[in-house]
Structure 1
């Protein structure tokens, strides 16, 4: 890695300043800073064969989504258009001027359609993001059980539906070891959630 990695980490720290990972408070009430998630995603991107642009994009993958579109120019200026394109690839909705996003279901449907039609380096970065999330869900299910689903806008049914669809969309399009990890951790989450994959159906629009 070049100095660009350190620069990307600093930018991500600034963009996510004050943000925390929901539901991560320990026994002392201390939550994890949000930056721990993009660092985990960057670690997975490197592990599964990502190049420097992909690893940097992994560090920055939530900056536009959580920080706002004003971060696009700083990303482009520091790392170039390719990294910005990779970050945009991973973004499933930008906040408006009031900080609001479109409805959860609508955003997830659009992102799945985008992902199924997509090619190129962004697929690996997105897959590493979703693997990091699955790993966190699996750990939380093991430790605190079903109450974990209250943290998610889509609830249990919506979240399980989304991750089943995501893992299928990544099938055959990421390194074999990464696909194995995605399928393994999804299966473990479904087992703990007492739901077979073929029982997970699309949530109603109501």
Structure 2
């Protein structure tokens, strides 16, 4: 029996978002390996589409870091005008709270975890895709560089592994996506590697 899945049709709006994302993040690179940042945004959008996300969710995936990394009123207004309310609200839902408002890294992340629990399903899907790609990237770089990668993260090894476990607990309750099992596999492998190298 064929797997009946609704195919997402991408229009010129997605193409416009792709160009806009590339322009916004043009000078930005990923931690550790220095990969152009657009690679992450493309990967998150691909995961969202592979999970059955619609065009608004795919556009939001391309722009999910825009407010956090390239924010300001100009960016907020442009996203709203060019891509509409729904895309804007998904991106806003993916945007972490301002770290400077919290005394410690852990308190900031606890607020983010609450934000994840309270999020609507489209926001949760984009956030899950983001975390899955981040975890895969950390694992690849851990295999290449070992323990030194943890210096790139404010929470260090213990904080990063704690945060992924907390996110997994939430996603197990909220989502039936295949991405949850994949995130669990990647995090388990990362934890085993971290323990073995300690």
Instruction: Name the TM tier (shorter chain).
Output: 0.7 to 0.9
Q: Indicate conservation of the 8 Å contact 1:68/1:94, yes or no.
A: no
Describe the shift of the 1:101–1:135 C-alpha distance in structure 2 as closer, same or farther (beyond 3 A). Answer: farther
What CA distance in whole angstroms lies between the structure 2 residues aligned with 1:15 and 1:68? Answer: 10
With the length of structure 2 as denominator, give the TM-score of the two structures: 0.87
Q: Indicate conservation of the 8 Å contact 2:51/2:177, yes or no.
A: no
With the length of structure 1 as denominator, give the TM-score of the two structures: 0.84
What do you get for the CA RMSD once the two structures are aligned?
1.7
Alignment partner of 1:20 is 2:29: yes
Q: Indicate conservation of the 8 Å contact 1:20/1:33, yes or no.
A: yes
Deviations 1:20-53 (A, max 9, x none): 11211xxxxxx32111111110011111111111
**Misfit runs of 4+, over 3 Å:** 100-104
Aligned with residue 46 of structure 1, among 45, 49, 56? 49
Alignment partner of 1:69 is 2:72: yes
- Deviation for aligned residue 1:176: 3.4
SS at match of 1:121: helix
Q: Indicate conservation of the 8 Å contact 1:57/1:83, yes or no.
A: yes
- Deviation for aligned residue 1:101: 7.3
Q: Indicate conservation of the 8 Å contact 2:32/2:141, yes or no.
A: no
What is the aligned residue count?
A: 185
Aligned residue in 1 for 2:19: 10
SS at match of 1:20: coil
| Structure richer in helix, relative to its length | 2
What CA distance in whole angstroms lies between the structure 1 residues aligned with 2:101 and 2:26? Answer: 20
